[in-house]
């Protein structure tokens, strides 16, 4: 049900607006569509003969070890922030539900995982950002900790569709977040993190004053305002220096023609070193994508992916534009390059 709801919300976000356009986003989109009314429709097709690989848990693709190691540096620098859901609490319980996800099963027991979260948003959060930004990373980690579903509009340097759209709505910096559940929109990563915890964290609905600080809102130490958070986020960004600049892609062509592609769907958690290269490719080619965060403790979404595919492994990528769905990060990057790169 949650998956169908998210897909419907994504479709609605790309539907033509009726009546007078809102300032910013819809006005920008309409102007671009009008300017490119005679542009050729961009077709997205999977590479000929493409066959998704079989999932191989805890296996690094040949020749990809160095890439995975460098992608693991931010995980260490940020002390694994985004790998665990907020309030993660494991426990051993009777294994009387064999269809539920569990990383460990033995002697009739399984490891159950719990969390401390607030109400779930009815619609995905929307974030304009880019992978290589230390401030954007902070917001992504918060979204992972809160087990949220987020639609990302990639805005690397030189991107010519999502970036101007955000600017037209008043975004002065990135990340820029829009929350359709509350009507809020804002820049400044610290403000976004506190907004998310205020509305979807463990203290949501508890009557805290509007000026409650990050600690009172239950924001983890590594996501709070201050030097250590910014310093380690900058160090994590310097470890890769990718996902900063836009390069030509079919996704950008489609957007320029006034017909943005449907967002791809990526199941992952923010600190996964296997996901890093996938997100960098999505960002550099300005491919919109919805991330279904499923860190440790994300019980419902891990169960959902297990039921959907017969196994649990991240990242898992679904492309509604071609019908391709696949595991294995190195193969995902290869697929994205062959399908979208120009």
Q: Tens digit of pLDDT for each residue in 106-121? A: 999 999 999 999 999 9
H helix count then E strand count, the chain: 12, 11
pLDDT value at 136 more than 50: yes
pTM for this predicted structure: 0.87
pLDDT in tens, 190-209: 999 999 999 999 999 999 99
Three-state DSSP state, 151: strand
Task: Give the DSSP letter string of 77-145.
Answer: HTTTTTSB-TT-EEEEEE---TTS--S-EETTEEEEEE----PPPSS-EEEEE-TT-HHHHHHHHHHHH
The pLDDT value given to residue 227 = 85
CA 132 to CA 298: how far, in whole Å? Answer: 26
- What residues form DSSP beta bridges with 111? 92
pLDDT digits (tens, 9 = 90+) for 314-338: 999 999 999 999 999 999 999 999 9
Task: Compute the C-alpha angle 22/28/34, nearest 5°.
Answer: 115
Q: Are 167 and 161 in contact (CB under 8 A)?
A: no
**And the tokens for 1?**
């049900």
């Amino acid at each position: 049900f949650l998956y169908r709801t998210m897909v419907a919300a994504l479709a609605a976000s790309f539907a033509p607006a009726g009546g007078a356009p809102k300032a910013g986003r819809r006005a920008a989109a309409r102007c671009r569509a009008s300017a490119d009314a005679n542009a050729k429709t961009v077709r997205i097709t999977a590479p000929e003969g493409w066959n998704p690989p079989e999932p191989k848990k805890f296996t690094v693709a040949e020749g990809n070890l160095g890439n995975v190691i460098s992608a693991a540096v931010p995980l260490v620098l940020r002390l694994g922030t985004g790998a665990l859901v907020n309030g993660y609490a494991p426990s051993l319980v009777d294994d009387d539900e064999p269809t539920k996800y569990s990383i460990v099963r033995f002697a009739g027991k399984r490891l159950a995982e719990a969390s401390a979260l607030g109400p779930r948003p009815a619609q995905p959060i929307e974030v304009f950002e880019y992978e290589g930004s230390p401030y954007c990373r902070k917001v992504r980690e918060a979204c992972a900790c809160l087990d949220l579903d987020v639609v990302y509009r990639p805005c690397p340097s030189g991107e010519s569709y999502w970036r101007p759209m955000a600017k037209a709505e008043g975004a002065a910096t990135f990340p820029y977040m829009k929350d359709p559940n509350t009507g809020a929109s804002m820049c400044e990563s610290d403000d976004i993190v506190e907004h998310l915890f205020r509305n979807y964290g463990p203290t949501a609905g508890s009557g805290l004053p509007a000026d409650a600080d990050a600690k009172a809102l239950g924001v983890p130490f590594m996501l709070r305002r201050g030097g250590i958070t910014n310093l380690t986020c900058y160090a994590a960004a310097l470890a890769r220096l990718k996902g900063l600049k836009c390069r030509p892609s079919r996704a950008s062509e489609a957007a320029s023609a006034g017909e943005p592609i449907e967002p791809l769907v990526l199941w992952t958690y923010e600190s996964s070193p296997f996901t890093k290269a996938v997100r960098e490719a999505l960002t550099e080619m300005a491919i919109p994508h919805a991330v279904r965060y499923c860190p440790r403790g994300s019980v419902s979404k891990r169960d959902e992916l297990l039921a959907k595919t017969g196994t649990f492994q991240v990242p898992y990528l679904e492309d509604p534009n071609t019908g391709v769905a696949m595991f294995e990060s190195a193969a995902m990057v290869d697929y994205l390059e062959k399908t979208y790169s120009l």
